[in-house]
């Protein structure tokens, strides 16, 4: 199979139950759970040897994680809180900001990939906020974008300014910072 997908205990139990309890073919179960049939056979061997407890994830060899002290609930509580709670000017999280918090709070410096991997494992994805305009009609908004935005951009370029704007839902937000981490299938 292409691309390793790590199974949870629940997936292994369901797959074994589908074969043993429901009598479904191993090949069909493997396709349904996005794994190889040899993997399902390995789960069945572990089940027959140790029952459902044999399907629990086993420790693997290798270096332990640097962020072992950071469980998914703690990570979510940090990311879903405003970044300003940790001394940042805006409330959006970036991997660099999260790494700074990990270093100050836990004394650990990790790579950007590690931060992204841990966020993904916690069910958090990098998302752009949805924009909604309530005060203007669509035609009025398009007219404003056509006439006023070029003037604003010209002034920013002319004065080499940093543009900030106020949003009553989120607070002060930097114009260049448009994304943040959120639980999958949710948006700001």
Residue 45's pLDDT band, with cuts at 50, 70 and 90, is very high
pLDDT at position 2 over 50 = no
Per-residue pLDDT of 141-157, as tens digits, reads 889 889 988 998 898 88
Residue 172's pLDDT band, with cuts at 50, 70 and 90, is very low
pLDDT at position 114 over 70 = yes
What residue spans define the domains of the chain?
A: 9-55, 72-126
**C-alpha closest to that of 98 among 70, 123, 127:** 70
Which ranges of 22-170 does DSSP label H, i.e. alpha helix? 26-32, 37-50, 72-80, 95-106, 112-121, 138-159
Residue 180, helix vs strand vs coil: strand
Q: Name residues whose C-beta falls within 8 Å of residue 122's C-beta, 6 or more positions apart in sequence.
A: 72, 75, 76, 79
Of the ranges 36-50, 96-110, 111-125, the best mean pLDDT one = 36-50
The residues with which 173 forms a beta bridge, in sequence order, are 165
Out of 18-27, 60-69, 97-106, 155-164, least confident range? 60-69
| Rounded Cα–Cα distance for residues 80 and 103 (Å) | 18
> What is the average per-residue pLDDT within 3-21?
79
**C-alpha closest to that of 188 among 134, 114, 126:** 126
Residue 182, helix vs strand vs coil: strand
More confident of the two residues 113 and 188: 113
In this structure, the dihedral spanned by the alpha carbons of residues 178, 182, 186 and 187, taken in order and rounded to 10 degrees, is -20
Out of 10-14, 57-61, 88-92, 119-123, least confident range? 57-61
| Rounded Cα–Cα distance for residues 182 and 80 (Å) | 7
pLDDT at position 68 over 80 = no
pLDDT at position 166 over 80 = no
Residue 19's pLDDT band, with cuts at 50, 70 and 90, is very high
| Rounded Cα–Cα distance for residues 188 and 178 (Å) | 11
> Please, what is the average pLDDT of the chain?
80
pTM value? 0.43
């Amino acid at each position: 199979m292409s691309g390793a997908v790590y199974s949870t205990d629940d997936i292994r139990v369901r797959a074994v139950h589908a074969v043993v309890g429901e009598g479904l073919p191993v090949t069909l179960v493997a396709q349904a759970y996005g794994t190889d049939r040899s993997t399902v056979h390995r789960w069945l061997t572990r089940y027959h040897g140790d029952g459902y407890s044999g399907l629990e994830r086993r420790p693997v060899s290798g270096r332990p994680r640097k962020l072992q002290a950071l469980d998914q609930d703690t990570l979510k509580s940090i990311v879903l809180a405003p970044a300003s709670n940790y001394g940042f000017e805006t409330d959006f999280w970036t991997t660099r900001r999260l790494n700074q918090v990990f270093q100050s709070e836990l004394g650990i410096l990790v790579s950007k990939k590690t931060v992204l991997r841990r966020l993904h494992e916690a069910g958090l994805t990098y998302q752009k906020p949805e924009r909604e305009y309530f005060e203007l009609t669509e035609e009025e908004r398009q007219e404003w974008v056509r006439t006023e935005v070029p003037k604003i951009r010209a002034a920013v370029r002319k004065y080499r300014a940093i543009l900030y704007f106020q949003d009553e839902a989120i607070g002060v937000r930097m114009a260049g910072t448009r994304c943040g981490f959120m639980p999958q299938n949710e948006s700001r």
